[in-house]
A and B are shown apart, each in its own frame.
Chain A
Amino acid sequence: MTIQSTLSDVGNLGLSTKVDRAAYLLGLLSLRSELPSELAGLQEIRDRAFSVVRDRAIPSTREEEWRFTDLSGLLQVQFQNSAPSEIGFPQIESFLLPESTNSRLVFVDGVYAPALSAVDDLPDGVLVGNLAAGVQLFPKLYEHLALHPGGEEIFTALNTASFTDGAIVRVSQNQAIASPIHLLFVSTQEALCHPRALVVAETGSSVTLVEEYVSLAEGAYFTNPVTEIWLGENAEVRHTRVQRDSVAAFHIGKTAVSQARDSRYDCTAVSLGGKLSRHHLEVYQTGEQTDTKLNGLTIVDGDRLGDTHSLIALSQPYGTANQVNKTIVSDRAHAVFNGKVFVPKAAQLTNAAQLSRNLLLSPKARVDTKPQLEITADNVKCAHGATVSQLEDDEVFYLQSRGIEADQARKLLTYAFAIEVIDRISVASLRHALTQLVRIQSA
């Protein structure tokens, strides 16, 4: 008898053995479609990812990276291939951003929907389209696609082995595009999909990106997206990632970012939906004086779980990194944050700060937070902290003493905690929409 089966930790392991978890993963892999001929250049990378996944299993809570995030619920759900739904504008109207009328790509259940997308009148040097078409216009995409470190991570590899199309955004040298580019991924049915996006911001360019996952279905679908972002020297990318999946859905997503010298990457990631959601956010600074700002907000209630795993890898002198990750947890929900910051010896004169702030609104709410700084450089400024708190009596009392009822005071304080993150979003219509959502969720 193995140690694994003597542990009676049924909640953690479900009824799964490693064999079951490997078989399940193979099942997911078997649902993939053929690679279209346009993307034939991807075949080798795809095969490599396939062989990575084939020999592995869905991780258990025994693995350090998945200690607090139990995937056994996923194993209960079986997926089948089905054709993407035919949907029209009326169904997605509420998700459209007026700022992105002509810079929007829509994917339905992982499949590009040209009729719902709009990429007319883009400035010269800006390519926004689907991968299968984009490869004709930007053959150099193979110099970027699926080449980030961390591609061996199981769900990233599953995506790489499975995706057949995706979004491509390329902003050429010194181009600045004013309209935000909206990548909208819509789920309509209980399916598995692997959304993929590649963003290449060349030297001196500037772009605002909105990546959004929304749902027209309440079911238990599984979205496994990977977004890769490459910033050339002195480029600037403002990225808002919004996960508004169904509260029954599984969402395990990856954002991988590489920053060349003098580039600036600013990310606001908001996670509101999902029965189980996890966001891997990995930023690799590859040149001097790069600047990274990460802001995260996760709101979970019921018995849902929201997990953020981030990595900021500094590597050169004069880099800066600033991260604030917030969670609001109510009912029996569970939030997880694991934030690694690497400051190796070469990264002298850098400045890195990380803060994890967590608000627990009920006695059974739970948060596991683990800031993890590894610093070997000796001439740097690094700060980190984690707070886990309930609403302070003194704060509630202050509002009450101004005539605001206790219940309303608590809601206002919760809202305020969340809105600090939302307020950083530069796209006004999205900021307003999320403000409304947060207002409702904290009511």
Chain B
Amino acid sequence: MSDVILSVKDLTAEVDGNPILKGFNLEIKAGEIHAIMGPNGSGKSTFSKILAGHPAYTVTGGEIVFQGQNLLELEPDERAKSGVFLAFQYPLEIPGVSNVDFLRVSYNAKRKHEGLDELDAFDFDEVVQSKLTLLKMDPSFLNRSVNEGFSGGEKKRNEILQMALLEPRLGILDEIDSGLDIDALKVVASSVNALKKPENATLIITHYQRLLNYITPDVVHVMAKGRILKSGGKELALELEAKGYDWVLDSQAVGA
């Protein structure tokens, strides 16, 4: 049996006093790809931000154990260095900081945490070039300011490049498919597939089934009103695409 990477039990959380998560449970094992689907406002993105430690959300109950460690005790940067990576739905622009400098600072922060020597610009260039090749990205990406003036697709690919460099144990992709045309979606999905490793896990947060045509999940969860209502195999995503979310919500109401 594979190692459990992430275990979430009875998690409740709020923002500005409004409850968003109401008893959330999830377990992810090494090598697995999970997808959380759900209608807008179900709490999917909130959950991803809580995993990464966004200060706007307050956890009011339950626990999150990441590789045997209480994740809620860690600062966001410590979570990242421990192997949690969140690809943002809306990556921020940082004019004035070149992408390559940003990537190197980030990469070296992780190396330092692991007790490794930091890489100088020259050695880092070798590492980043190999990732660019793997992801079929244009090296000109590196010299631009972080996300400034990037198209939607470029921003998402830049998130994946960061993920490729940091090699997280748990990669969380928050609506990585939103706003992408089909070609850009295929590129992003193939990059995610290229990064898959048996010891790592991926959590995909999405509103649309479309992405799951290109990244095959092991487990699909349906989330609504701050909880997971139903879990199943990849066929569940197709069922949702065909029937919408209502039948899950309705069957839950009947069962309750």
| Cβ-defined contact, A400 with B92, below 8 A | no
- Chain B residues, Cβ within 8 Å of A409: 77
A412 contacts the other chain (Cβ, under 8 Å)? yes
- Chain A residues, Cβ within 8 Å of B55: 393, 397
- Chain A residues, Cβ within 8 Å of B88: 398, 401
A418 to B81, CA, bound (A): 28
A383 contacts the other chain (Cβ, under 8 Å)? no
- Chain A residues, Cβ within 8 Å of B162: 402
| Cβ-defined contact, A395 with B96, below 8 A | no
| Residue in B77, B94, B95, B96 whose beta carbon sits within 8 Å of that of A400 in the complex | B77
B152 CB to nearest A CB, Å: 17
Of B26-34, B38-46, B105-113, B194-202, which binds chain A?
B105-113
| Cβ-defined contact, A400 with B75, below 8 A | yes
A368 contacts the other chain (Cβ, under 8 Å)? no
| Residue in B80, B94, B113 whose beta carbon sits within 8 Å of that of A416 in the complex | B94
| Cβ-defined contact, A403 with B106, below 8 A | yes
Given known A393-B56, A397-B55, A401-B53, contact A406–B77 (CB-CB < 8 A): yes
B9 contacts the other chain (Cβ, under 8 Å)? no
Q: Produce 1/0 per residue, B31-73, CB < 8 A to A.
A: 0000000000000000000001111100000000000000000
- Chain B residues, Cβ within 8 Å of A404: 77, 105-106, 109
A402 to B97, CA, bound (A): 14
A415 contacts the other chain (Cβ, under 8 Å)? yes
- Chain A residues, Cβ within 8 Å of B139: none
| Cβ-defined contact, A412 with B77, below 8 A | no
| Cβ-defined contact, A401 with B76, below 8 A | yes
Number of interface residues of A (CB under 8 A): 24
- Chain B residues, Cβ within 8 Å of A418: 96
- Chain B residues, Cβ within 8 Å of A177: none
- Chain A residues, Cβ within 8 Å of B79: 401
Q: Produce 1/0 per residue, B156-171, CB < 8 A to A.
A: 0000001000100000
| Cβ-defined contact, B77 with A417, below 8 A | no
| Cβ-defined contact, B97 with A403, below 8 A | no
| Cβ-defined contact, A403 with B96, below 8 A | no
A235 to B85, CA, bound (A): 53
A405 to B112, CA, bound (A): 12
| Cβ-defined contact, B81 with A398, below 8 A | no
Chain A, 398-443, CB within 8 A of any chain B CB? 398-406, 408-409, 412-413, 415-420, 423
| Residue in B75, B77, B81, B96 whose beta carbon sits within 8 Å of that of A415 in the complex | B96
A420 to B146, CA, bound (A): 13
Chain A, 43-69, CB within 8 A of any chain B CB? none
A121 to B206, CA, bound (A): 67
A401 to B75, CA, bound (A): 9
| Residue in B54, B80, B145 whose beta carbon sits within 8 Å of that of A403 in the complex | B80
Chain A, 373-413, CB within 8 A of any chain B CB? 393-395, 397-406, 408-409, 412-413
- Inter-chain pairs besides A400-B76, A402-B102, A418-B96, 10 sampled, C-beta below 8 Å: A397-B53, A397-B55, A398-B94, A400-B53, A401-B86, A401-B88, A402-B80, A405-B77, A415-B97, A417-B96
Tell me the A residues contacting B by CB distance below 8 Å.
393-395, 397-406, 408-409, 412-413, 415-420, 423
A-B CB contact pairs (8 Å), 21 listed: A397-B76, A398-B92, A399-B94, A400-B80, A401-B76, A401-B88, A403-B80, A404-B105, A405-B77, A406-B75, A406-B77, A409-B77, A412-B94, A412-B105, A415-B97, A416-B94, A416-B95, A416-B96, A417-B96, A420-B95, A420-B96
